[in-house]
Chain A
Amino acid sequence: MSNNSASSSSSLVIAQKAVKQLRLEASVRRIKVSQAAADLKTFCLQNAHKDPLLIGVPSSDNPFRPPKSCVLF
């Protein structure tokens, strides 16, 4: 008997926590997708020129690719 009431009261606590969390998440302030998407697009376009993987890296600036040089001793 006491086992049943213990497990049912813990289910109750879990359910109460779940409702409390949902109330929190429901109260979030949301902006319009049009604004969010426009900001993402702007960010990408404004930073494109400094994105090495996007625009490519000249071998002289590429730390993973030392420029080939001919050395005559």
Chain B
Amino acid sequence: MGEMEQLRKEAESLKDQISAARKAVHDVTLPEIVSGTAVVGRVQLKTRKTLRGHLAKIYAMHWGTDSKLCVSASQDGKLIVWDSYTTNKVHAIPLKSSWVMTCAYAPSGNMVACGGLDNMCSIYNLKGKDGNVKVMRELAAHTGYLSCCRFLNDSEIITSSGDCTCALWDIETGTQKTIFSGHMGDCMSLAVSHDFNMFISGACDYTAKLWDIREGACRQTFGGHESDINAIGFFPNGNAVLTGSDDGTCKMYDLRADQELITYQDPSIMCGVTSLAPSLSGRLILAGYDDFNCNIWDSLKAERVGVLAGHDNRVSCIGVTPDGMAACTGSWDSFLKIWN
């Protein structure tokens, strides 16, 4: 037997081993565990604020850690930092490239980042001496579009790219400290764990991967989706992963059981999930869809318990404030809405 053939057989055998090991711990289903728990009552959130100012589709938004300021990115070529309490624009940052797909707020509040079809992640210093917001670094090395970025701190940021890799960057030197390869399709989204030791990525190979940031290694891979994963997030207890896909479903995977626990789906939903965010306790999952709406799911009972209807085009991004007080939706209709 040639070595390639041997390796192929070993790979198949290992995949079977993983499948069997997952089955072996599958002693009960989530629905059985929560059979005695009542579904949450109908959730009716109202639009409290509308953030107007972008002139084209909004592709991304991210809350600052103060749960008040947020940043949004639009293909009108601007990053806007908003005071969501007053709807005032704190900063309106013109971008070199208008083809932006993602933005991020640093936990410190000192910086924002964005990137897109320019294949770069641009870091902006919000606290410059003369009050002007300037590009601090342009992180260039990806050979595909920048789909998502998240700061670990003021000196490190993680990016995901259409070149099928994710990367950890040293912002000061502008270099990639670690490249995370393994996905067989465009990486579309990433989320960092609360302890900043791990991150998860969702890709067009229909899988989600858990990565150890310092080891540079993929620890676990989760399949089951039947199309691209566009959105990913950690469940608030840090032990589970939520994914949203073009197959119209969201899934929850448990990291410690190493498998899918439940799928959030409805036969009436025939369009892709673009974005998702859990509420503070994790009981609610807000998911944005291609059909202009956001569905609110009871994460334990897997039933739809509410809808955020108010946008006139696709909901492209959604974020819940760190303090859990409100959700923000961003849309191709150029508006952001704050709900609670």
| A residues adjacent to B (C-beta < 8 A) | 8, 11-12, 15-16, 18-19, 21-26, 28, 30-41, 43-48, 50-54, 57, 62-65
Contacts and interface: CB of A to CB of B under 8 A. Distances in A.
Given A21-B218, A48-B281, 11 more contacts: A22-B15, A23-B14, A26-B21, A30-B259, A37-B254, A40-B282, A41-B34, A53-B43, A53-B320, A53-B326, A54-B280
13 contacts: A24-B217, A26-B14, A32-B25, A32-B27, A32-B257, A35-B256, A37-B33, A40-B254, A40-B300, A41-B33, A53-B340, A63-B68, A64-B48
B7 interface: yes
Nearest to A15: B7
Contacts of B280: 47, 50-54
B4 A22 contact: no
A33 B252 CA distance: 12
Interface in B217-258: 217-221, 235-237, 239-240, 254, 256-258
A16 B43 contact: no
B219 A25 contact: yes
Interface of B: 3-4, 7-8, 10-11, 14-15, 17-18, 21-22, 24-30, 33-34, 37, 40, 43, 45, 48-49, 68, 84-85, 182, 217-221, 235-237, 239-240, 254, 256-259, 261, 279-284, 286, 299-300, 320, 323-327, 338, 340
Nearest to B259: A33
Contacts of A8: 4
A54 B43 contact: yes
A54 B279 contact: yes
B49 A53 contact: no
A61 to B, nearest CB: 9
Given A43-B282, A53-B340, A64-B48, A28 B258 contact: yes
Contacts of A35: 256-257
Nearest to B10: A19
Contacts of A52: 280, 323-326, 340
A20 to B, nearest CB: 10
A8 B5 CA distance: 12
A65 to B, nearest CB: 5
A43 B340 contact: no
B282 to A, nearest CB: 5
A13 to B, nearest CB: 10
Contacts of B254: 33, 36-37, 40
Of B33, B85, B218, B327, most A-chain CB atoms within 10 Å:
B33
A33 B261 contact: yes
A21 B324 CA distance: 37
Closest 4 CB pairs of A and B: A47-B281, A51-B281, A64-B48, A22-B14
A43 to B, nearest CB: 4
B49 to A, nearest CB: 6
A22 B18 contact: yes
Contacts of B7: 12, 15-16, 18-19
Contacts of B4: 8, 11-12, 15
Of B8, B279, B286, most A-chain CB atoms within 10 Å:
B279
B303 to A, nearest CB: 14
A64 B46 CA distance: 11
B299 A44 contact: yes
B209 to A, nearest CB: 10
B85 A63 contact: yes
